[in-house]
Amino acid sequence: MRICVAGGAGYIGSHVSHALVNAGHEVVVFDNLSTGLRTSVPEKATFVHGDVSDPLLSRKTLKGCDAIVYLAASKDAGASMLDPIRYTRNNLQATMSFFDAANDCGVKYVVFSSSAAVFGESQYLPLDEDHPKDPTNYYGYTKLEIERVLAWYDKLLGIKSASLRYFNAAGYDPDGKVTGLERNPANLIPVVMEVACGVRKGMQVFGTDWNTKDGTCLRDYIHVTDLADAHLRALDHLEKGGATFAVNLGTGSGQSVLDVIHAAEKISGRKVNYQAVGRRAGDPEALWASGEKAKQLLGWVPKHSSIESIVETTWNAYKANGLVK
């Protein structure tokens, strides 16, 4: 199929774009490079530098496309609570404008990058797809709203979609073909890597008094290569006539902040200096997904998501960028 990957120069988007090219699809990457990197775009893909909020360029780019994979959104939950207007503009208005263009161009399938943040506080674990959805941050609200619009667009426009709820996306391509690093990261794993390679002198651990095995928060870290595989499977499912669906993409278990730090020290051979500080506002104690529905529906089973593989492939990306002296 001819597939437009909106946000395809980003961290997850570039891994998805490479997987689609490797699977033989014709890929058009549409990205404004606000956070993505031109060098992360697969050589065999067509690249269009532009913004999803541009109606004319969107239609020009989407002409002839069978499907879109949509990852063009702002993703910092904390930032969404400080600047909701930017999240309304980037995550709601721009997305709706792009979907409007996609519909005008006869696009039949949408794979949407959704998030665990649609759930809010967990009432039980692992989080399955039936768990109540009550986002605790505006970022999660924007993702849930788009999921709901897509359900209506199926009913009213016949557009079939897959909403893929990423848990904590992490890791890098094991073959080293994607090494683009996030600038000024806030997520745990790149922060730990920056401390291990000396880009940062130290880091903070937000809370060591949680009711967990070692007092630090638990999260479901899912390797981007496993996420990319889920996108391929979702597109195949839709192309074969599958109904619109939403699935959680996680490993089914949680790892702690200290698990990550200890894995990084073992793999890098470096000390990761951290200071235990108070809890971060909005942090849930533990979040992990049940990947059972994705396994049943798509045959998806994460293969790269051990914390060791996630940390090792990330460390390799820091080495590839010359940051490990």
Long-range contacts, stretch 84-88, CB < 8 angstroms, 24+ apart: 84/138, 87/138, 87/139, 87/142, 88/142
Task: Please state, in angstroms and rounded to a whole number, the distance separating the CA atoms of residues 24 and 322.
Answer: 32
Q: Is 257 in the site for ligand WQD (CB under 6 A)?
A: yes
The residue from 15, 133, 219, 223 that contacts ligand WQD (CB under 6 A) is: 219
Q: Is 204 in the site for ligand WQD (CB under 6 A)?
A: yes
| Catalytic sites, residue numbers | 139
CA distances from 200 to 98, 203, 215, 273 (A): 38, 7, 24, 9
How far, rounded to the nearest angstrom, does the alpha carbon of residue 224 sit from its chain's CA centroid? Answer: 7
Taking CB under 6 A as the binding criterion, the range among 18-26, 85-93, 97-105, 204-212 that sits at the site for ligand WQD is 204-212
Q: Is 52 in the site for ligand WQD (CB under 6 A)?
A: no
39, with CB counted inside 10 A (0-12, 13-18, 19+), is: exposed
The residue from 166, 172, 288, 318 that contacts ligand WQD (CB under 6 A) is: 166
The residue from 38, 60, 89, 280 that contacts ligand WQD (CB under 6 A) is: 280
The residue from 62, 181, 195, 217 that contacts ligand WQD (CB under 6 A) is: 217
Residue of minimal Cβ distance to ligand WQD: 217
The angle, 0 to 180 degrees and rounded to 10, between the axes of the packed helices 11-22 and 224-239 is: 50
# residues contacting ligand WQD (CB under 6 A): 20
Q: Is the N-terminal amide bond of 284 cis, ω within 30° of 0?
A: no
Q: Which residues bind ligand WQD (CB under 6 A)?
A: 75, 77, 115, 117, 139, 166, 168, 186-188, 191, 203-206, 217, 219, 257, 280, 283
